[in-house]
Amino acid sequence: MIAHIARHELRSLFLSPLAWVVLALVQLVLAYIFLLNIDAFIAQQDEWALATKSPGATMLIVLKTITNVPTLLMVVIPLITMRMLSDEKRLHTSVLLFSSPISMRAIVLGKYFAVLIFFGLSWLIIGMMMVSLNLGTQLDLGHVAAALSAVFLLLMAIAAIGIYMSSLTAHSAIAAIATFALVLLLWIVDGAAKLNGSESLLSDISMKFHYQSMLTGLVSVVDVAYFFLVTGVFLVLAVHRLHKERVYG
């Protein structure tokens, strides 16, 4: 049943002009940044040749490009998730869902996996873009893999938050704004650590801290567990929200 819902949502996504615009926007912006970083790398090659230790293409092209990905994801993922559940309420099709034998878990997971697969296509293209550099220079493929893993884990977490926010309201714009606001808060929360002295606590709940930690090439259990925990918590909250509406209306 989860697979059926996911297929249905994917079909709806790819029939939507907004989805194609979002995909094109992500690829165009990242491709532009990628080419700018390549130009800068080529322009500085003579300088790096004289240096005793050169950062290499992995640091100067791949990681500099991937550093810009979170900003894009914060903007485009809410545009897709905002209608996943809010439209069901706005169009009153939620009544049919709640009266069907389909579990709330299947509905949430089906819609969530549809979003994940949709943005997974962008993630694959980003990965191929980065790995293509290996044809002309030597990359640290382990470091690249860690960075791409960080992107996918961040994608998972933001999509889960978006699904939950969409379950709270019938207004898709409100769901998108709320998703962006919460993700931004989780991203910048460690910025207050230096001001109040609670650096370790705020860093533990900061997406930016765990994301940047993985960009160093070190994939720790703590960082991976953080993104899975955020994803799991918000999906469970979305299921609970729908179950509450089914029971109490």
What does each of the 249 residues of the chain score in pLDDT, given as a tens digit?
A: 788 888 888 888 888 888 888 888 888 999 999 999 888 888 877 666 666 566 677 888 888 899 989 999 999 999 999 888 887 777 777 667 667 777 888 889 999 999 999 999 889 998 998 888 888 778 888 899 999 999 999 999 999 999 999 988 888 899 999 999 999 999 988 776 555 555 567 778 889 989 988 998 888 899 999 999 999 999 999 999 888 877 665
Q: What's the chain look like in SS3? A: CHHHHHHHHHHHHHCCHHHHHHHHHHHHHHHHHHHHHHHHHHHCHHHHHHCCCCCHHHHHHHHHHHCCHHHHHHHHHHHHHCCCCHHHHHCCCHHHHHHCCCCHHHHHHHHHHHHHHHHHHHHHHHHHHHHHHHHCCCCCHHHHHHHHHHHHHHHHHHHHHHHHHHHHCCCHHHHHHHHHHHHHHHHHHHHHHHHHCCHHHHHHCCHHHHHHHHHCCCCCHHHHHHHHHHHHHHHHHHHHHHHHHHHHC
pLDDT value of residue 198: 53
Encoded tokens for 33: 């940044």
Q: What contacts 24+ positions apart, CB below 8 Å, involve 9-17?
A: 9/84, 9/110, 9/111, 9/114, 9/115, 10/114, 10/117, 10/118, 13/80, 13/114, 13/118
User: Exposed, middle or buried, 96 (CB in 10 Å: 0-12/13-18/19+)?
Assistant: exposed
Q: What is the pLDDT of residue 47?
A: 66
- Determine the pLDDT at residue 56: 76
Q: Could you give the count of Cα atoms lying within 13 Å of 20 in the half-sphere of its Cβ?
A: 6
Nearest 5°: CA angle at 240, between 3 and 237?
85
Q: What is the pLDDT of residue 77?
A: 93
Residue 51 has a pLDDT of: 60
Q: Where are the domains of the chain?
A: 2-248
The pTM of this model reads: 0.90
Distance CA 173, CA 199 (A): 34
Q: How many CB atoms lie within 10 A of CB 166?
A: 32
Q: What is the pLDDT of residue 179?
A: 94
